[in-house]
Amino acid sequence: MKFIHAADIHLDSPLTGLSAYPDAPVEMLRTATRRAFTNLCDEAIDQKVDFLLIAGDLYDGSWKDFNTGIFFCKQMGRLKKVNIPVYILYGNHDAENEMTKTLQLPDNVFTFEARKCTTHLIPHLKVALHGRSFKDAATTENLVTSYPTPTDGMYNIGVLHTALEGNSAHPNYAPCTVGELHAKGYDYWALGHVHEYSVISGAATIVFPGNLQGRHVKESGPRGAVLVTVDGHGDCVLERLIVDVIRWHTLIVDVSSCVVLADVVRTVGLQLEALVATSPAHIPSAVRISINGRTAVHGELFGLARQLRTEILALAAATDPDSLWIEKVQINTSDLDHNENLSLRGDAVADLQTILDQAENDPEFVDALKADLMALITKAPIELQTSVSYFKEIRAGDVSRILAEVRPALVAYLAKAE
């Protein structure tokens, strides 16, 4: 038999972080999760699977647009026409969604109860599906203890939405251990909630398929579901089904060897070209660029961060205007150690270096700087309040980072300008 195990679909969840690219196609971004789910149903039909299994978070929180539910029912209707049943377990996002309580589902769709564990039998396949949906979004009890013993003569699949052993990237809902899952005696555990693909082998095969579509830069790389093929001996083979329609990337660019801003732009351009060359042509890329390294151009970057960002946006538009978008440009460089060379100069730049070195340990200067900066940020326009990373620290009375970063950048910039 064959079945598809999917989870964390988050239908109509918005993709975030592309506001930096004003020309990004809004409609393509808005419908990404729908198109990924349509691709999943296409795969189910093409693969002629025996059933589709969704291990939680079909919907996205308290989203109340019933067009989302209508879209889902339409896709279920496609599967009904080819006799593919669908089994849905509700996760933490589904528990707070109105559609899970009021939407009438097609008769090829079966759900797992929340009050107790439900077992769905598929006699002709000799399959038993055991699962318990979330009643409340913040379900922190161990649900595994309520799952029954394996059904004799059946291929037993446990369906569970869980953080497992406290996955740090996700709320610790329905926590349990890998040992508890293996001890249950099931053949396969179809998990959801953790958005990264992972497989744990042992007495049972334990799988997180990951989410169908990355929604922000922290969900980068290929996304999809898992096709599970089980032979007559109960042994299974896993195959990832990649169905995402927009892919997130983090591009780390080392500019250690760069001397001027133009070198940085050329280096970024080469890496963008390489990314486009190695990415599937039909999947657009949303990219966060991190400029890293100890470099002679550090001072220039500090003074020209906005110009660099503009030039990178122009590069992306020239490289692939239809499917390459820049989510953010981050500058994480540091200066080369020129302190000794500067001290030998005996000029105003060397004097400035000495003054700035001493400033960090001068309480009177630091207090005066805090007062001046607070006066500045209270008058700053709203767009700066959210875009300048230093502001939050300054409000908290911490100017250590701005001193540490401005000092070498300012000295390097003035030395270069001279």
Q: pLDDT (tens digit, 0 to 9) for every residue of the chain, 418 residues total?
A: 999 999 999 888 878 777 556 666 777 888 899 999 999 999 999 999 999 999 988 887 665 667 888 899 999 999 999 999 999 998 876 665 555 566 788 999 999 998 899 999 999 999 999 999 887 666 777 888 999 999 999 999 999 999 888 655 566 777 889 999 999 999 999 999 999 999 999 999 999 999 999 988 899 999 999 999 999 898 999 999 999 999 999 999 999 999 888 999 999 999 999 999 999 888 999 899 999 999 888 877 876 777 888 899 899 889 988 888 888 888 888 877 655 555 555 566 666 667 766 777 778 888 888 888 888 888 877 766 666 667 788 888 888 777 776 766 666 666 665 5
d(CA 130, CA 116): 10
d(CA 60, CA 68): 10
Query: Which residue matches tokens 């109509």?
Result: 12
Q: Which amino acid is at 6?
A: A
Residue spans of the domains in the chain: they are 2-242, 247-417
Dmax (CA) for the chain in angstroms is 89
Give the pLDDT score at 344: 54
> Which of 220, 222, 415 lies closest to 328, judged by CA?
220
pLDDT of residue 29: 80
Per-residue pLDDT at 373 = 83
Angle at 411 between CA 410 and CA 414, to 5 degrees: 85
Are 135 and 114 within 8 A, CB to CB? yes
pLDDT (0 to 100) of residue 281: 84
Q: What is the pTM of this model?
A: 0.81
Looking only at the bridges linking them, the beta strands covering 109-111 and 285-295 are unpaired
In the prediction, which pLDDT does 61 show? 64
> Rounded to an integer, what distance in angstroms lies between the CA atom of residue 62 and that of residue 28?
23
Question: What is the rounded distance in angstroms from the CA atom of residue 95 to the CA atom of residue 101?
Answer: 9
- pLDDT for the residue 24: 67
**What is the number of other CB atoms lying within 10 angstroms of the CB of residue 158?**
26
Which tokens go with 384? Answer: 């700066």
Tell me the angle at which helices 32-47 and 66-81 cross, rounded to the nearest 10 degrees: 10
What is the rounded CA–CA span in Å between residue 396 and residue 404? 17
Contact 316, 271 (CB under 8 A): no
Angstrom distance (rounded) from CA 40 to CA 262:
44
Taking CA atoms, 156 is separated from 51, 121, 122, 151, 393, in Å, by 14, 9, 11, 7, 53
Describe the crossing of helices 261-278 and 305-319 by its angle, rounded to 10 degrees: 30
CA distance 92 to 281: 35
Residue 327, H or E segment: strand 324-335
Phi first, then psi: give them for residue 124, nearest 5 degrees: -70, -20
Instruction: Return the percent helix, strand and coil in the chain, to nearest 5.
Output: 40, 20, 40
User: How many angstroms separate the CA atoms of 122 and 51, rounded?
Assistant: 10
| DSSP E strands, 138-216 | 155-161, 188-192, 198-200, 205-208
The interaxial angle of helices 400-417 and 348-359, nearest 10 deg, is 180
Q: Who's near 316: CB < 8 A, 6+ residues apart?
A: 21, 272, 287, 324, 325, 326
Q: 29 and 15 in contact (C-beta within 8 Å)?
A: yes
What fold is seen in the domain 2-242? Purple Acid Phosphatase; chain A, domain 2 (3.60.21)
Q: Which helix (H) or strand (E) holds 218?
A: none
